[in-house]
């Protein structure tokens, strides 16, 4: 592993109170243990599964998250409009220009300039612009600003869209972290100096259906009758985060996935590094 100048943690979709609580119990310890310089999290499901409130935003910032990304649930809570102006919260870059908020968060960590970009796929998603053509000039512009450390949350249903982003931009982006499906994938890798995983996986209840109580989905699939999705007050929880290290040129020199079950059992999986 080469010398790194930036250590980053990326947490997958945070689902409701159980997700927030397991972050509370673990993140500060992990930041210290791994000397993380920056922590990013997808928080569009953090407030009872749908959207993000001011209260929960500030709660998560207090637990050690630095930047929050979104997706198709970004606008579920209308107070997000003000959060975009006052807090480190972004929404997908390829929403129409007239939509509130921004799709890029710029920051400086030590002497390193960093950009966090949020994108959203097309398949089963709200109407948005083409993510592939939208990000291309943005990458060029960021590099012209001297920003080589570019981290992307690709919020998409289709694994093909996420994988295609890797093939198009692996030499330009520092990391591409997939979110949205809530189900972690076993393909963490470093390709051409770009950290990539199709889906980080959710942080929240692991004994339901994608973080929600299992009763409504089971009834729907058995009878065709749906209902309101709720998050249980108590459940078996999981914390999922990808940690990666970037060198002075913004290239990934190493990565691993950490999973914590019920704040007790920990599983760490190293990334495959393509030589």
Active site residue ranges: 73
Q: Give the side-chain half-sphere CA count within 13 A for 113.
A: 9
- Cα end-to-end span (Å), the chain: 12
User: Which tokens hold the place of 63?
Assistant: 């637990």
Residues 1, 106: Cα–Cα separation, whole Å: 27
Measured in residues, the chain has a length of: 275
In the 8-state DSSP scheme, what is residue 247? -
Distances (CA, A) of 241 to 9, 178, 198, 216: 6, 12, 13, 28
């Amino acid at each position: 592993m080469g010398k790194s100048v930036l250590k980053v943690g990326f947490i997958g979709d945070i689902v409701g109170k159980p997700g927030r609580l397991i972050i509370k119990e673990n993140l500060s310890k992990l930041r210290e243990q791994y000397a993380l310089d920056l922590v990013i999290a997808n928080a569009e499901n953090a407030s009872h599964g749908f959207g993000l409130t001011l209260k929960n935003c500030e709660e998560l910032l207090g637990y050690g998250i630095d930047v929050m990304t979104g997706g198709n649930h970004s606008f579920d809570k209308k107070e997000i409009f003000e959060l975009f102006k006052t807090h480190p919260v972004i929404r997908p870059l390829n929403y129409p220009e007239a939509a509130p908020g921004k799709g890029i968060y710029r920051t400086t960590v030590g002497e390193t300039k960093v950009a966090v970009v949020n994108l959203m796929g097309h398949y089963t998603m709200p109407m948005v612009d083409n993510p592939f053509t939208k990000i291309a000039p943005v990458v060029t512009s960021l590099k012209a600003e001297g920003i080589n450390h570019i981290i992307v949350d690709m919020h998409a249903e289709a694994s093909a869209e996420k994988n295609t982003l890797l093939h198009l931009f692996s030499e330009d982006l520092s990391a591409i972290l997939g979110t949205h499906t809530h189900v972690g994938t076993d393909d963490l890798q470093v390709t051409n100096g770009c950290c990539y995983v199709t889906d980080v996986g959710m942080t929240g209840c692991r004994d339901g259906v994608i973080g929600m109580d299992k009763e409504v989905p089971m009834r729907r699939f058995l009878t065709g009758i749906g209902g309101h999705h709720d998050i249980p007050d108590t459940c078996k929880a999981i914390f999922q985060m990808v940690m990666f290290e970037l060198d002075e040129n913004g290239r990934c020199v190493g990565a691993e996935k950490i999973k914590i079950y019920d704040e007790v059992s920990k599983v760490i999986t190293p990334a495959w590094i393509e030589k």
